Amino acid sequence: MGRPPRSALALTFGCERLGKLTAGQGRPRPALRRPWPLWLTVPLLVFGAGCAGTGASTAPSVAAVPSLVEAKHQVVAYVDSGRYEADIAAVAEQAREYLESRAQRGGKLAIVIDVDETALSNLPSLRANDYGFIVAGPCDLPRGPCGLGAWIGMARAEPIRPVLALARLARDRGVDVFFLTGRPERLRAATEANLRAAGFEWTRLILKPDDLTTKSAADFKAPERKKLQDQGYTIIVNIGDQMSDLDGGFAERTYKLPNPFYFIP
């Protein structure tokens, strides 16, 4: 084992101090960007933007790197305290109110819903990996590790209940439900099976073509929403857990759910 190098100790203490100052001051912020495929992009868990020094300090840039351990603790506290669930419910309630009132005015209406961490929760796999990112290999639950590909193939993700209620309300009010996800087309069967098992019904599930690579998920999703508009739909609600689910227009209202686990550009 042995002691960590002196520089590591200094880094840890510096960031822990800032972590305490910023804890509870709001939602987790987007984390580091990585050159992975968009739908697989899972960053380090970062609540604060860093821990750069103040005043006349000339601390080296490495001090801006936060403590991963502290970030994980904050994620666990956010989820286990019920705040994550409550925040989701609050956002979904706003969407429900708008959908309910807007649907009364009629028209060829649609709601667009993202899949991961919006319609379906991947928490069991995230927890099993201690909020790390494991793509390959089997998924051993609840112990972990849990490979992402295997997990998706299992089609066992639970619905995010307030979003399921929203989707059901939409259909009940004659509003078409479209799922729009960055998951690739090759995962269609597993995704459909999971959504169905979770209780969702929908008009169409739109997945990203297997060979399509974009800088931002919005570069795929916004044009897909435009296609729906060109087909005569008015998208009254667009809901997702990433800003890239919502950016680019073609929706009357957008609703951003919290996601303290990963960031998709």
Minimum separation from the CB atom of position 58 to Mg ion (A): 40
Stretch that binds Mg ion, among 34-42, 45-53, 112-120, 144-152 (CB under 5 A): 112-120
Between 70 and 114, CB nearer to Mg ion = 114
Closest contact distance (angstroms) between CB of 101 and Mg ion is 26
- Of the ranges 109-117, 127-135, 143-151, 171-179, which one interacts with Mg ion (CB under 5 A)? 109-117
Nearest distance from C-beta of residue 253 to Mg ion, angstroms: 18
Residue 39 found at the interface with Mg ion (CB under 5 A): no
Q: Which residues contact 214 (CB under 8 A, 6 or more apart)?
A: 38, 220
The site for Mg ion, by CB under 5 A, has a size of 5
Name the segment binding Mg ion (CB under 5 A); options: 20-28, 53-61, 111-119, 187-195.
Answer: 111-119
**DSSP-derived secondary structure for the chain:** --PPPHHHHHHHHHHHHHHHHHTTSSSPPP----SS-GGG------SSS-----TT----GGGGSPPHHHHHHHHHHHHHTTHHHHHHHHHHHHHHHHHHHHHTT-SSEEEEE-SBTTTEE-HHHHHHTTT----SS-B-TTTS-B-HHHHHHHT-PEE-HHHHHHHHHHHHTT-EEEEEEEEEGGGHHHHHHHHHHTT---SEEEEE-TT---SSTHHHHHHHHHHHHHTT-EEEEEEESSHHHHTT---SEEEE---SS----
Beta strands 109-113; 234-240: pairing state = parallel
In sequence order, the 6+-apart residues with CB closer than 8 A to the CB of 86 are none
| Residue 238 C-beta: closest distance to Mg ion, Å | 12
Interface with Mg ion, residue 70, by CB under 5 A? no
Binding piece for Mg ion, criterion CB under 5 A, among 69-77, 91-99, 110-118, 192-200? 110-118
User: In the bound complex, which residue of the shown chain has the CB atom lying closest to Mg ion?
Assistant: 116
Q: Which of residues 235-254 bind Mg ion (CB under 5 A)?
A: 241
Please say whether the beta carbons of 261 and 42 come within 8 A: yes
- Counting contacts by CB under 5 A, is residue 114 touching Mg ion? yes
Q: Nearer Cβ to Mg ion, position 96 or 221?
A: 221
70/241 with CB nearer Mg ion: 241
Minimum Å distance from CB 120 to Mg ion? 9
Stretch that binds Mg ion, among 67-75, 87-95, 219-227, 234-242 (CB under 5 A): 234-242
**Is position 116 an interface residue for Mg ion (rule: CB under 5 A)?**
yes
Output 67 or 191, the one with its CB closest to Mg ion. Answer: 191
- Positions in the binding site for Mg ion (CB under 5 A): 114, 116-118, 241
